[in-house]
């Protein structure tokens, strides 16, 4: 019995060191009527803790910078929560202020509530299609929608933290290509 327990503890300990690249994000995602391939894939790690896996989806052969900033192009960001170890209970201020300034009250409140309920294994997708606009989906459930591409622009500027958006996008995408 003791050897079985010791073996279980050893296996559990080794699982921590499985690379987060073993976590699969979809290789493509349908947005509107277009199938978008993953242009960039990454995990957010702190020591041995894998926080999330993420992938950016843009039209084939499109420049990620151009696709992200062009309201005529579909795009999506997919995130899978792998750990809540450092996930704050409340949405960080910079994201909260950005979304609050861009969305109507009910949409913002729905996103804020969804943030508080995030769990390990949850899948979050922010997708934009020309016409319908931005949709935030949590585990196949639509949380919020807005027709405004301005939300994407505002989120990109917040994410870039003062760096020009094209430079930040190019640097991050080139650093994190998806394995094919």
What is the spatial distance between Cα 89 and Cα 92, in angstroms, rounded to a whole number? Answer: 9
Domains and CATH numbers, the chain: 23-175 (3.50.70.10)
Q: What is the pLDDT of residues 121-170, one digit of tens each?
A: 899 999 999 999 999 999 999 999 999 999 999 998 998 898 999 898 88
How confident is the model over 51-61, as a mean pLDDT?
Answer: 88
Separation between Cα atoms, residue 16 and residue 22, nearest integer Å: 12
Question: Tokens representing 173?
Answer: 């995408």
134/43 Cα distance (integer angstroms)? 24
Q: Between the CA of residue 132 and those of 83, 100, 146, 171, what are the distances in Å?
A: 32, 20, 8, 30
pTM, rounded to two decimals = 0.82
* pLDDT exceeds cutoff 50 at 179: yes
Residue 2 has pLDDT above 50, yes or no: no
Do 82 and 51 meet the contact criterion of CB atoms below 8 Å apart? Answer: yes
Given this model, what pLDDT does residue 108 score? 93
């Amino acid at each position: 019995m003791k050897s079985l327990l010791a073996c279980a503890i050893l296996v559990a300990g080794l699982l921590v060191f499985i690379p987060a690249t073993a976590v699969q994000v979809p290789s493509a995602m349908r947005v509107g009527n277009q199938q978008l391939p993953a242009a960039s894939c990454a995990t957010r790690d702190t020591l041995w803790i894998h926080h999330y896996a993420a992938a950016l989806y843009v039209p084939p052969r499109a420049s990620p910078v151009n696709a992200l900033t062009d309201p005529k192009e579909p795009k999506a960001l997919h995130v899978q929560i792998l750990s809540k170890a450092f996930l704050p209970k409340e949405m960080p201020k910079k994201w909260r202020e950005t979304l609050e300034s861009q969305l109507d009250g009910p949409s913002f409140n729905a996103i804020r509530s969804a943030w508080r309920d995030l769990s390990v294994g949850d899948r979050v997708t922010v997708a934009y299609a020309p016409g319908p606009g931005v949709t935030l989906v949590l585990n196949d459930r639509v949380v919020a929608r807005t027709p405004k591409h301005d939300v994407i622009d505002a989120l990109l500027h917040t994410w870039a933290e003062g760096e020009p958006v094209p430079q930040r996008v190019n640097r991050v995408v080139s650093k994190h290509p998806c394995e094919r």
